[in-house]
């Protein structure tokens, strides 16, 4: 019970802290993935497609969870806020889940806004209850990338650059906006261990009403469980 209460408190703490930037958040939550959808549609000779929509939703999750959450974690570590939390009785796992929940809500909102934006391009995606589930199991492994950069960065600038690089790079080197066959052989292997590959595939299948998301969900689910079990060890909760 205390564990759940701590998670909720951490979540609300970050919601309140971010409230003043709500306008900017909403703008970036729409503008960044929508811009990506328009850009990729342009590259595809002006033909919008469900694959590109799925890719843009993964891009939205990646931007919010890796870049957005990553910056929050970096600020916590390098501006001394983490020290304040570490010296209070909050457990590392509660903190981790609280900030993950915060990132997840942002990612879900951004991905949902993309579904609305799809109407502008006259796309008619198939909607299903499995979409939020895919978003959840995709965000957790992506958030782990943010956690790692916050753990190992030497300063806030270095960490922010790393987050930008990984947050956008992971989406671009994975078969998110195109099929895996398009990728050069080495990238195919790399993309197999990166969550955007499975997230994009699962979104694409659901949005285009195709079956077979079981394997994608299984991989993302296993990645999420691993992050939830071991992620708190990555937090700089006690220095050596």
Binding site for another protein (CB under 8 A): 2, 5-6, 9, 13, 16-20, 79-81, 83-84, 86-91, 238-240
As measured in angstroms, the least distance from the Cβ of 230 to another protein is: 18
Q: CB under 8 Å, gap of 24 or more: what pairs does 119-124 form?
A: 121/37, 121/41, 121/48, 122/48, 123/48, 123/49, 123/50, 123/53
Task: Please choose, from the candidates 224, 164, 174, the residue with its C-alpha nearest in 3D space to the C-alpha of residue 196.
Answer: 174
As measured in angstroms, the least distance from the Cβ of 164 to another protein is: 22
Task: Please choose, from the candidates 11, 74, 63, 2, the residue with its C-alpha nearest in 3D space to the C-alpha of residue 34.
Answer: 63
As measured in angstroms, the least distance from the Cβ of 69 to another protein is: 16
The smaller minimum CB distance to another protein, of residues 90 and 113, is found at 90
As measured in angstroms, the least distance from the Cβ of 77 to another protein is: 10
For helices 195-207 and 130-152, the axis angle rounded to 10 degrees is 160
The smaller minimum CB distance to another protein, of residues 16 and 45, is found at 16
As measured in angstroms, the least distance from the Cβ of 13 to another protein is: 5
The smaller minimum CB distance to another protein, of residues 18 and 168, is found at 18
Cα separation, 102 vs 96, in Å, equals 10
Query: DSSP assignment of 105-170, as one string?
Result: HHHHHHHHHHHHHHGGGT--PPP-THHHHHHHHHHHHHHHHHHHHHHH-SSHHHHHHHHHHHHHHH
The smaller minimum CB distance to another protein, of residues 81 and 151, is found at 81
The smaller minimum CB distance to another protein, of residues 79 and 210, is found at 79
């Amino acid at each position: 019970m205390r564990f759940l209460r701590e998670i909720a408190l951490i979540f609300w703490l970050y919601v309140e802290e971010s409230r003043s930037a709500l306008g900017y958040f909403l703008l970036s939550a729409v503008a960044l993935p929508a811009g990506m959808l328009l850009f990729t549609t342009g590259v595809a000779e002006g033909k919008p497609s469900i694959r590109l929509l799925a890719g843009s939703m993964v891009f939205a999750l990646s931007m919010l969870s890796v870049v957005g959450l990553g910056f929050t974690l970096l600020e916590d570590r390098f501006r001394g806020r983490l020290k304040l939390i570490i010296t209070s009785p909050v457990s590392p796992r509660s903190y981790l889940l609280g900030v993950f929940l915060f990132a997840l809500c942002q990612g879900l909102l951004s991905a949902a806004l993309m579904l609305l934006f799809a109407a502008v391009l006259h796309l008619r995606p198939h909607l299903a209850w499995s979409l939020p589930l895919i978003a959840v199991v995709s965000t957790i492994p992506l958030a782990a990338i943010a956690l790692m950069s916050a753990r190992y960065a030497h300063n806030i600038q270095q960490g922010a650059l790393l987050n930008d690089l990984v947050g956008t790079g992971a989406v671009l080197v994975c078969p998110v906006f195109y099929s895996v066959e398009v990728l050069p052989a080495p990238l195919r292997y790399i993309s197999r261990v990166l969550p955007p590959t499975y997230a994009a595939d699962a979104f694409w299948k659901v949005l285009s009403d195709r079956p077979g998301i079981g394997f994608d969900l299984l991989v993302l689910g296993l990645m999420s469980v691993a992050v939830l079990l071991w992620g708190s060890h990555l937090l700089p909760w006690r220095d050596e």
